[in-house]
């Protein structure tokens, strides 16, 4: 089935999927001015929606404060985490929120150029997004003197990625934009000071930017009413795997995994992978944990596994992914992921000692601290959590292993 | 490569460089344009890009070899990429894989003899709720079953 035909389903939700009229956000932003935008954002407690959870207001303030001839806004639409597809929905169905978020960010920090870094896999969206940008230019929401404001001009370009997961890391993304291999940089300096072409750059996730127009219109306090103390607002969850109703759901932070499973009508669930391949795998005993930065953090990916799934195979799929997507720049990640994959293959062939497995868990922990960027720091998560939470299944301690032993 | 072909390619790359500029930040866009049209970026094309942008050819090669969607060896006229990541895998990727391989008589990573199709695996396409999914060039197809997958492949030229 060709994908475009499956769209146009009506969505609803507390923040992002609530009613919105094109242009309202930018109009309000120009009315209240830079300081009040930053105030509302800080009040809202909005944190980065890509997974890392850095406070958005702080990021914007830092780059607003840095002095430079040029500044840039980059929208990170390199959504590559396995099991994540919320940005696809936002870009196809709510492009006004994303682009207006970028325009507002540009106004706030004093940037004239915004860049949408769209992953190569999403090239089929390019035409509709370019068309939408043309509409915005016609409505004077983009271009010179936006909405008659003589001190504010801003335009957005779209740049395509070419199939590299690591380019979702903000400094790798900037390298890629600059025409280099997408290898992450050392931080500091952070992009808010030294970003694209050495200029201050704000790199925000699609969903983060899309939240901004709603926050300005309805206020930081309103946004805060949703969610928990540490995780304010709502979140888009991309749910896939063994459930009746996979798809994108907007739910307040603080929703428990059990509640989510009920909403998506998952039955006979054995495990839930929270946060994609780089996240953690939770067994049934932990389904009471809540989704939020303070407990089970996620960029939105939720993959459901029912009783029939073999968790070792799941783990193998994840490790193959990381071994392939590691950029190869730093040793812990380049070699570590291959070693972890080897271990999974050895377990599969029943050719291992527990000493070896424990050593590899230690290696995983080393990778978490020694890798240069988030890829290597988080790739051992699934290895460690699956081996620890599903010990009996994987090492055959119940069922046939025990009887044979 | 014939001299005529070389000249045509040089001219084409010159036009691209004129369009995107000679700054380093234009490199990926230029390479993407060459890849889109020729389905690979040959050694000669890499050298031409390097010459026109005034950078070392190794720099160009290092970028081409980094990105999964850029390649140095010729491929088929159409590149079919089947998603191999977990959700599509659970939704029946293997069946699609087997059927497609049998039908085309090649395995993943290979190109058909008539240069019509190259089969490849790719990582998450962001279609996890509608798997199995595959990309045909830049177009995406979802909720595949073996029969429709074959139908789609038969339709491409």
What are the tens digits of pLDDT across the range B12-22? 999 999 999 99
- Regarding whether A276 and A132 lie in a shared domain, the answer is no
Residue A5 lies in a domain: no
- A327 in Cβ contact with A172 (< 8 Å): yes
Distance CA A82, CA A324 (A): 13
Indicate yes or no: CB of A241 within 8 angstroms of CB of B85.
no
- Residue B66 near chain A (CB below 8 Å): yes
Q: Phi, psi at residue B80, to the nearest 5°?
A: -105, 120
In terms of domains, do A217 and A277 share one? no
Q: B5-14: per-residue pLDDT in tens?
A: 889 999 999 9
- Residue at A46 is within a domain: yes
pLDDT tens column, A304-313: 999 999 999 9
Same domain, A75 and A148: yes
Q: What is the per-residue pLDDT across A81-130, written as a single tens digit (0 to 9) for each?
A: 999 999 999 999 999 999 999 999 999 999 999 999 999 999 999 999 99
Task: Please indicate if any CB of chain A lies within 8 Å of the CB of B101.
Answer: no
Tally A–B CB contacts below 8 A.
140
With CB atoms and an 8 Å threshold, state whether B70 touches A162. Answer: yes
Which candidate from B86, B127, B142 shows the least CB-CB separation from A317? B86
pLDDT (0 to 100) of residue A393: 94
Which domain, by its residues, includes A393?
315-404
Total domain count, chain A: 3
d(CA A167, CA A174): 8
| Record: contact A324-B123, CB cut-off 8 A | yes
At A385, which CATH number?
Answer: 1.20.1440.230
Query: CB B126 to CB A87 under 8 A?
Result: yes
Structure tokens at A368: 């978490």
Whole-angstrom distance, CA of residue B77 vs CA of residue A193? 44
- Residue A132 domain-assigned (yes or no): yes
Q: Are residues B86 and A85, on separate chains, in Cβ contact within 8 Å?
A: no
How far apart (Å, rounded) are the C-alpha atoms in residues B66 and A240?
29
Q: What is the pTM of this model?
A: 0.95
Residue A7 lies in a domain: no
Predicted confidence (pLDDT) per residue in B47-100, tens digit = 999 999 999 999 999 999 999 999 999 999 999 999 999 999 999 999 999 999
Q: Does B130 touch chain A (CB under 8 A)?
A: yes
Q: In what order do the strands lie in the sheet with B139-141?
A: B117-122, B78-83, B134-136, B139-141
Any CB–CB contact under 8 A between B13 and chain A? no
B78-155 carries CATH number 3.30.450.40: no
Does A1 map to a domain? no
Tell me, yes or no, whether A52 and A184 share the same domain: yes
Q: Is residue A151 part of a domain?
A: yes
Beta-ladder partners of A124: none
| Domain identity same for A302 and A250 | yes
Q: How crowded is the C-beta side of A260, counted as CA atoms within 13 Å?
A: 36
pLDDT over 90 percentage in chain B: 95
Question: Does one domain contain both A79 and A118?
Answer: yes
pLDDT computed for residue A401 by the predictor: 43
Residue A61 Cα, gap to closest chain B Cα (Å): 27
Per-residue pLDDT of chain A (405 residues; tens, 9 = 90+): 666 544 556 788 999 999 999 999 999 999 999 999 999 999 999 999 998 899 999 999 999 999 999 999 999 999 999 999 999 999 999 999 999 999 999 999 999 999 999 999 999 999 999 999 999 999 999 999 999 999 999 999 999 999 999 999 999 999 999 999 999 999 999 999 999 999 999 999 999 999 999 999 999 999 999 999 999 999 999 999 999 999 999 999 999 999 999 999 999 999 999 999 999 999 999 999 999 999 988 999 999 999 999 999 999 999 999 999 999 999 999 999 999 999 999 999 999 999 999 999 999 999 999 999 999 999 999 999 999 999 999 987 654 444 443
User: How does strand A280-283 pair with strand B134-136?
Assistant: unpaired
Smallest CA–CA distance, residue B134 to chain A, in Å, is 10
Exposure letters A33-59 (e unless 16+ CB within 10 A, then b): ebeebbebbbbbbbbbbbbebeebbeb
B-chain residues within 8 Å CB-CB of A123? 138
Cα of A288 to nearest chain B Cα, Å: 23
Number of H helices, E strands in chain B: 7, 4
Residues of chain B contacting residue A305, judged by C-beta atoms under 8 Å apart: 90
By CA distance, what is B92's nearest residue in A?
A241
Encode pLDDT of B99-138 as tens digits. 999 999 999 999 999 999 999 999 999 999 999 999 999 9
Q: Do B63 and A180 touch (CB under 8 A)?
A: yes
Residue A179: CB atoms within 10 A of its CB come to 21
Task: Convert the pLDDT of each residue in A146-189 to its tens digit.
Answer: 999 999 999 999 999 999 999 999 999 999 999 999 999 999 99
CB contact under 8 A, B67 and A123: no
CA distance A207 to A212: 9
Is residue A198 in a domain?
A: yes
């Amino acid at each position: 089935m060709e994908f475009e035909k499956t769209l146009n389903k009506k969505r609803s939700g507390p923040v992002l999927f609530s009613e919105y009229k094109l242009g309202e956000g930018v109009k309000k932003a120009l009315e209240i001015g830079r300081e009040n935008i930053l105030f509302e954002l800080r009040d809202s407690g909005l944190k980065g929606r890509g997974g890392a959870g850095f406070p958005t207001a702080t990021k914007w303030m830092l780059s607003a404060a840095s002095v430079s001839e040029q500044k840039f806004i980059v929208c990170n639409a390199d959504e590559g985490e396995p099991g994540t597809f919320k940005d696809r929905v936002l870009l196809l169905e709510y492009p006004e929120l994303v682009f207006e978020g970028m325009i507002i960010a540009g106004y706030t920090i004093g940037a004239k150029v915004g860049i949408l870094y769209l992953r190569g896999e999403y090239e089929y969206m390019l035409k509709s997004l370019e068309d939408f940008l043309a509409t915005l230019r016609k409505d004077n929401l983009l271009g010179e003197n936006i909405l008659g404001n003589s001190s504010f001009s801003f335009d957005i370009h779209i740049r395509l990625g070419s199939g590299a997961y690591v380019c979702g890391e903000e400094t790798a993304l900037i390298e890629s934009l600059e025409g280099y291999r997408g290898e992450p940089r050392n931080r500091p300096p952070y992009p808010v000071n030294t970003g694209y072409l050495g200029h201050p750059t704000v790199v925000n996730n699609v969903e983060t930017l899309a939240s901004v127009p709603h926050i300005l219109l309805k206020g930081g306090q309103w946004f805060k009413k949703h969610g928990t103390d540490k995780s304010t607002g709502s979140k888009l969850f991309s749910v896939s795997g063994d459930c009746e109703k996979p798809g994108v759901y907007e739910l307040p932070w603080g929703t428990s995994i059990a509640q989510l499973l009920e909403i998506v009508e998952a039955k006979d669930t054995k495990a839930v992978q929270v946060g994609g391949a780089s996240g953690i795998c939770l067994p049934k005993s932990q389904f009471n944990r809540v989704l939020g930065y303070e407990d089970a953090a996620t960029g939105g990916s939720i993959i459901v596994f029912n009783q029939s799934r073999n968790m070792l195979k799941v783990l193998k799929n994840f490790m193959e992914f990381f071994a392939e997507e590691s950029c190869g720049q730093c040793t812990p990640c380049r070699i570590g992921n291959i070693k972890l994959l080897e271990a999974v293959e050895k377990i599969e062939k029943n050719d291992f000692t527990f000493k070896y497995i424990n050593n590899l868990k230690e290696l995983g922990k080393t990778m978490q601290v020694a890798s240069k960027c988030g890829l290597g720091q988080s790739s051992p998560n699934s290895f460690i959590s699956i081996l620890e939470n599903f010990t009996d299944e994987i090492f055959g301690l119940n069922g046939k292993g025990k009887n044979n032993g | 490569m014939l001299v005529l072909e070389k000249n045509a390619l040089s001219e084409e790359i010159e036009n691209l460089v004129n369009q995107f500029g000679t700054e380093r930040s234009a490199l990926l866009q230029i390479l993407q344009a060459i890849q889109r049209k020729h389905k690979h970026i040959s050694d000669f094309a890499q050298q031409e890009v390097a010459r026109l942008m005034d950078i070392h050819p190794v720099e160009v090669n290092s970028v081409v070899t980094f990105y999964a969607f850029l390649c140095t060896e010729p491929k088929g006229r159409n590149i079919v990429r089947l998603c191999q990541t977990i959700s599509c895998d659970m939704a029946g990727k293997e069946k699609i894989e087997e059927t497609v391989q049998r039908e085309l008589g090649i395995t993943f990573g290979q190109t058909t003899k008539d240069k019509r199709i190259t089969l490849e695996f790719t990582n998450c396409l962001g279609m996890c709720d509608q798997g199995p999914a595959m990309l045909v060039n830049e177009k995406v197809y979802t909720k595949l079953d073996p029969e429709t997958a074959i139908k789609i492949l038969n339709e491409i030229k």
